[in-house]
A = this chain, B = another copy of it.
Amino acid sequence: MSVTAAQGFRAAGVTAGLKSSGTPDMALVVNDGPQHAAAAVFTSNRVEAAPVTWSRQVVADGRVDAVVLNSGGANACTGPQGFLDTHRTAEQVAEALDISAGDVVVCSTGLIGELLPMDRITAGVTALAAGLGPNGDAAAQAIMTTDTRPKQAVTSRDGWTIGGMAKGAGMLAPALATMLVVLTTDADLPADELGSALRKATALTFDRIDSDGCQSTNDTVLLMASGASGARPSLEAFTAALTEVCADLARQLIADAEGAHHDIAIRVVGAASEADALEVGRSIARNNLFKCAIFGNDPNWGRVLAAVGTTTADFDPRALDVAINGVQVCRAGGVGADRAGVDLRPREVSVEVDLHAGPAEATIWTNDLTHDYVHENSAYST
> Which of the segments A10-18, A238-246, A266-274, A329-337 contacts the partner chain?
A329-337
Q: B296, B298, B309, B380: which contacts A215 (Cβ < 8 A)? A: B309
> When A112-B306, A217-B309, A306-B216 are in contact, do A330 and B77 touch as well, CB less than 8 Å?
yes
Q: In the complex, what residues of B have CB within 8 A of residue A320's CB?
A: 47
Identify the stretch in A63-71, A93-101, A287-295 within 8 Å (CB) of chain B at 4 or more residues: A287-295
B47 touches A217 (CB 8 A): no
Known: A332-B79, A377-B292. A46 touches B317 (CB 8 A): yes
Question: Considering the chains assembled together, what is the distance between the CA atoms of A309 and B219 in angstroms?
Answer: 13
> Interface size (A, Cβ < 8 Å)?
68
Q: How many copies altogether?
A: 2
Indicate if the CB atoms of A77 and B334 lie closer than 8 Å. yes
Q: Are A374 and B378 in contact (CB under 8 A)?
A: no
Question: Residue A303 contacts which of B112, B213, B339 (CB distance < 8 angstroms)?
Answer: B112
CA A114 – CA B79 in complex, angstroms? 54
A79 near B335: Cβ-Cβ < 8 Å: yes
Q: List, in ascending order, chain B residues with CB within 8 A of A7's CB.
A: none
List 16 A-B pairs, Cβ < 8 Å: A47-B317, A76-B306, A77-B330, A77-B333, A77-B335, A79-B332, A112-B305, A113-B335, A171-B289, A213-B286, A214-B287, A288-B373, A296-B380, A298-B378, A298-B380, A374-B374
- Give A residues with C-beta under 8 Å from B: 45-48, 74, 76-79, 81-82, 111-115, 170-171, 212-217, 286-289, 292-293, 295-298, 300-303, 305-311, 315, 317-318, 320, 329-330, 332-335, 339, 369-371, 373-375, 377-382
